Chains A and B, each alone.
Chain A
């Protein structure tokens, strides 16, 4: 009985949390007239409150067709997003994982200070770093180039931080025993560290994907050539005429994220649990 009460109490917030997705789904199936009527108080400047119905009165796939078949531009941006995200994640794997392992298992002078700097950097929002990043990229001639977005993000401190927590949880005893067995640093890292810390790595990847798939500020600032833009920049201004397209674009952006999250949510759970348990 209590289970059901608990369930009942929780379902409402859950619904509220899920409502935006539903909103998106129904909106993408609505025609222009309906959208204009519903969204007029928000986007059109009329008085009153917005109306919304859970089921569209006249559902139409019009905007899907328009986006998928009539707008080759969205696909250019889609593949740009894919490229950038894959690049960033690869870079983070390449750079961030060893960095995290190093922070977790090695002692070296200035480790504390360096870690402090990492945390500070992690906390700073992009707007603070924007100008200095621009100048540095300009000097490196990486402006208007996708590498100018991939490289700074690949060296991001956030995944390092997450993975550090996981690597920290790997018992030292195993490493010692491995060392006694004659394993070198690399072997220890690859054969023991990576498998045991894989949960952390994956969760960092998942969180990274979610962040970099929806990147807006960096591309807008550093990329002038529109053919290099990611999908999030497809509709920088959403107005009443483009509401339908905006909905469908959002759905298209959402689907990979759903896949990724569904694939990685176990690891995320594991990660959270793991960090709670202290050896």
Chain B
């Protein structure tokens, strides 16, 4: 019995031993293995590298007159040309044709301008003329109306006088006589005025003729001097006469007008006298009783006629004044001759350009040493006013350009050292510096970086890769990037610590929140004090860790 019990106890202990091992194995399966590392002092480098190509610093555009025919093009795209090398040729025949046409056009325009000037002068003269005429008409209207009024007044006075005389004398003969006498007196006066006016006019005409003779003489003396000069053209005799006539036309017209007025007045006075005499004859037969009534009626009629004459004056004067105002209205400005002058100047300039082209023989040369980027013209077609040939200006130097994303902006700055590695496996070019950094015009998410390269280092269009390595200061605490985890914008890492448990010293992980001050693709720099250099930091683990998890250290 005892033996059995001892055996059973032994068996129990053996079973416990088995379970001991089994439970350990089962437990350790779930424990993740981790690799650890310590934080150290490191320099965080931010290498910026980009592939780009070589291009020129400056471009030159070569252009020529538009509308010329291209006879031959002597260069191809990508060809290097020296300064003064022939680029392309223009057709000379076409050019000369164009020059001739331009000259003719110029001549036409000049003649046109002359015509315009002269017609302007003529119209000015006409205007002055019509203005003077209107003045004269006005004056005449006043005079004529005055005359009519006077005449009517005279008639009225005569009638009144006749009536008075009749009342006084009873027969009225003296009245009649006085009326006739007054009218006769008026006639005489008018006649005198008329003869005066005629005399004036003749005197004016004489004056004009004298002046014309004098001016003609003067002109023939001075015409020799003006022929040699390059002023306006010498005036002809006809023109001189016309000018002088124009000057005195107003006076002459006035004189003529006065004469006519006087004549009219004379005629009016004579007509009035005749009329009276006729009336007298007509009314002589009438009975004496009705003479008083007749006289009265005549006086009345005369009075009415007088008032009518006054009114008529007003009307006529108004009309004439209107005519004066119309004649004085200003004309619209006419600068057409100046416009034509400007056009002539433009044409002259164009002509000069064409002539210069002819001087060059229609050959267009390269202004600088460079490489032809693009040829915009085709043989046989006409040139446009845009660029004919685009040159990459070698003499101004070459540069390397590349694009980098905006996120790398803080890792590159002007004057940073650059190493260029040409694509064709040539030697690395060192000792270069970053020239400019600017935002790309097409894509605001990219930056253009340029580096000036020395002469003859690389050709235009060659590709290369640039490397800029900006080293920051060393950071005290740097951890590998694989050690960092991120949750809700908070970076953290796990620190392995030993804890005492029943099973002995176990490794557990503790979460530590840290702040990252700089990082690149391999390392992250942490704020001082977040982690010490003695702590073991988890850099790699089999599965996702959580705070408090047990872990096993990897055998390194």
Binding site for B on A (CB under 8 A): 68-79, 82, 225-227, 229, 255-256, 259-260, 262-263
The residue that B24 contacts in the complex, of A72, A225, A256, A259, with Cβ under 8 A, is A72
Task: Quote the shortest CB–CB distance from B511 to chain A (angstroms).
Answer: 24
B interface secondary structure, majority: helix
Question: A227 vs B504: C-alpha distance in the bound complex, in angstroms?
Answer: 6
Q: Give the complex CA separation of A75 and B22 in angstroms.
A: 10
Q: A73-B501, A73-B502, A73-B503 are in contact. Are A256 and B23 (CB under 8 A)?
A: no
B1-38 near A? 1/0 per residue, CB < 8 Å? 01001101100110010011011101100000000000
What's the least CB distance linking A209 to chain B, in Å? 11
- CB<8 Å pairs between A and B, sample of 15: A68-B22, A69-B22, A69-B23, A70-B23, A72-B23, A72-B27, A72-B503, A73-B503, A77-B502, A78-B16, A226-B502, A227-B502, A259-B8, A259-B9, A263-B5
**C-alpha gap A68/B9 in the complex (Å):** 18
CB pair A255–B502 under 8 Å, yes or no, is: no
With A68-B19, A75-B23 as contacts: A226 and B8 at CB distance below 8 Å: no
Q: Is B442 an interface residue (CB 8 A)?
A: no
**Which A residues are in CB contact (< 8 Å) with B502?**
73, 76-77, 226-227, 229
Tell me whether chain A's interface is mostly helix, strand or loop, or mixed. helix
- Whether A263 contacts B503 by the Cβ 8 Å rule is no
The residues of A that contact B19 with a CB separation of less than 8 Å are: 68-69, 75
CB distance from A84 to the nearest CB of B (A): 15
**CB < 8 Å neighbour of B503 from A78, A82, A227, A256:** A227
The verdict on B500 contacting chain A, using a C-beta distance below 8 Å, is yes
Which 5 residue pairs spanning A and B have beta carbons closest together? Answer: A75-B20, A73-B502, A263-B5, A259-B9, A72-B23
CB pair B13–A225 under 8 Å, yes or no, is: no
CA A259 – CA B13 in complex, angstroms? 11
Binding site for A on B (CB under 8 A): 2, 5-6, 8-9, 12-13, 16, 19-20, 22-24, 26-27, 500-504
With contacts A72-B24, A226-B502 known, what are 20 further pairs, Cβ within 8 A? A68-B23, A69-B22, A70-B23, A71-B23, A71-B27, A73-B501, A73-B503, A75-B16, A75-B23, A76-B502, A77-B502, A82-B13, A226-B500, A227-B500, A229-B502, A256-B12, A256-B13, A260-B9, A262-B5, A263-B9
Across-interface contacts of A72 in B (CB, < 8 A): 20, 23-24, 27, 503
Chain A residue with the shortest CB-CB distance to B10: A259
**With A and B bound together, what is the CA distance between A263 and B6 in angstroms?**
7
How far is the CB of B398 from the nearest CB of chain A, in Å?
Answer: 74
Do B26 and A69 touch across chains, with their CB atoms under 8 A apart? yes
Quick one: closest A residue to B3, CB to CB? A263
- Indicate which residue in A69, A70, A226, A259 contacts B5 across the interface (CB closer than 8 Å): A259
Cross-chain contact A76 with B503 (CB below 8 angstroms): yes
B16 in contact with A70 (CB, 8 Å): no
Chain A residues closer than 8 Å to B503, beta-carbon distance? 72-73, 76, 227
What separation, in Å, do the CA atoms of A33 and B5 have in the docked complex?
37
* Closest partner residue, chain A, to B18 (CB atom): A68
| Residue of chain A at shortest CB distance from B24 | A72
Q: Of A74, A75, A225, which is in contact with the most chain B CB atoms at under 10 Å from its CB? A: A75
Distance in angstroms from A131 CB to nearest chain B CB is 25
| Contact partners of A68 in chain B: CB under 8 A | 19, 22-23
Complex Cα spacing A207 to B26, Å: 36
CA distance A168 to B2 in the complex (A): 26
In whole angstroms, what is the CA distance A227 to B501 when docked? 6
| Cα–Cα, bound, A259→B503 (Å) | 27
In the complex, what's the smallest C-beta–C-beta distance from A263 to chain B, in angstroms? 4
With a CB–CB cut-off of 8 A, which chain A residues contact B27?
Answer: 70-72
A226 to B502, CA, bound (A): 5
Instruction: Kindly state the separation between the CA atoms of A263 and B504 in the bound complex, as whole angstroms.
Output: 35
Quick one: closest B residue to A77, CB to CB?
Answer: B502
Whole-angstrom distance between the Cβ of B31 and the nearest chain A Cβ = 11
Instruction: Find out whether the CB atom of B5 lies under 8 angstroms from the CB atom of A79.
Output: no
Query: Across the interface, which residues of B come within 8 angstroms of A73, CB to CB?
Result: 501-503
Please name all residues of chain A whose beta carbon is closer than 8 Å to the beta carbon of B504 when the two chains form the complex: 227
- In the bound assembly, the distance between CA atoms of A227 and B23 in angstroms comes to 16
Residue in A closest to B504 when the chains form the complex, CB atoms: A227
Residues of chain A within 8 A (CB-CB) of B2 are 263
A259 touches B12 (CB 8 A): yes
CB proximity of A249 to chain B, nearest CB, Å: 13
CA distance A260 to B27 in the complex (A): 31
In the complex, chain B residues whose CB is within 8 Å of the CB of A78? 16, 20
* A contact residues around B24 at 8 Å (CB): 72, 75
User: In the bound complex, how far is the Cα of B502 from the Cα of A78, in angstroms?
Assistant: 11
In the complex, what residues of A have CB within 8 A of residue B20's CB? Answer: 72, 75-76, 78-79
B21 and chain A: residue at smallest CB distance? A75
List residues of chain A with CB within 8 A of the CB of B8.
Answer: 259
CA gap between A227 and B498 in the complex, in Å: 14
How far does the Cβ of B248 sit from chain A's closest Cβ, in whole Å?
Answer: 139
B11 and chain A: residue at smallest CB distance: A259
Max count, chain B CB within 10 A of own CB: residue among A72, A77, A227, A263: A72
Q: State the CA gap A69–B20 with chains docked (Å).
A: 8
Give the residues in chain B near A259, CB-CB below 8 Å: 5, 8-9, 12
The CA of A75 and the CA of B26, in the complex, are separated in Å by: 13
**CA distance in complex: A79, B2 (Å):** 23
Q: Which residue of B lies closest to A228 (CB)?
A: B502
CB-CB < 8 A to A69: which residues of B? 19, 22-23, 26
In the complex, residue of chain B having the shortest beta-carbon distance to the beta carbon of A260: B9
Residues of B contacting A70 in the complex (Cβ-Cβ under 8 angstroms): 23, 26-27
Q: Which residue of B lies closest to A261 (CB)?
A: B5
The complex places the Cα of A238 from the Cα of B12 at a distance, in Å, of 26
What residue of chain B has the Cβ atom nearest to residue A226's Cβ? Answer: B502
Complex: chain A residue closest to B9, CB-CB = A259
Q: Is the CB of A256 within 8 A of B22?
A: no
CA separation between A226 and B506, bound complex, in Å? Answer: 12
- Minimum CB–CB distance from A161 to chain B (whole Å) comes to 25
Most chain A C-beta atoms within 10 Å of own C-beta, residue among B23, B24, B502? B502
Q: Which residues from A are CB-within-8-Å of B9?
A: 256, 259-260, 263
Q: How far is the CA of A31 from the CA of B204 in the complex (A)?
A: 152
Asked whether, in the complex, the Cβ of A225 is within 8 Å of the Cβ of B6, the reply is no
CB proximity of B28 to chain A, nearest CB, Å: 8
Min distance, Cβ A265 to any Cβ of chain B, angstroms: 10
Name the CB-closest residue of A to B5. Answer: A263
* Complex: A262 Cα to B8 Cα, angstroms: 11
The CA of A214 and the CA of B194, in the complex, are separated in Å by 173
Inter-chain contacts of A79 with B (CB < 8 A)? 20
Which chain A residues lie closer than 8 Å to B500 at the CB level?
A: 225-227
A229: chain B residues at CB < 8 Å are: 502
Point out the residues of chain B lying under 8 angstroms from A227, CB to CB: 500-504
Nearest residue in A to B23 (C-beta to C-beta)?
Answer: A72
A90 to B219, CA, bound (A): 165
CA distance A82 to B9 in the complex (A): 12
Question: Please, how many angstroms separate the alpha-carbon atoms of A37 and B504 in the complex?
Answer: 36
Complex Cα distance A72/B26, Å? 9
Partner of B501, one of A226, A256, A260: A226
Residues of B within 8 A of A82 (CB): 13
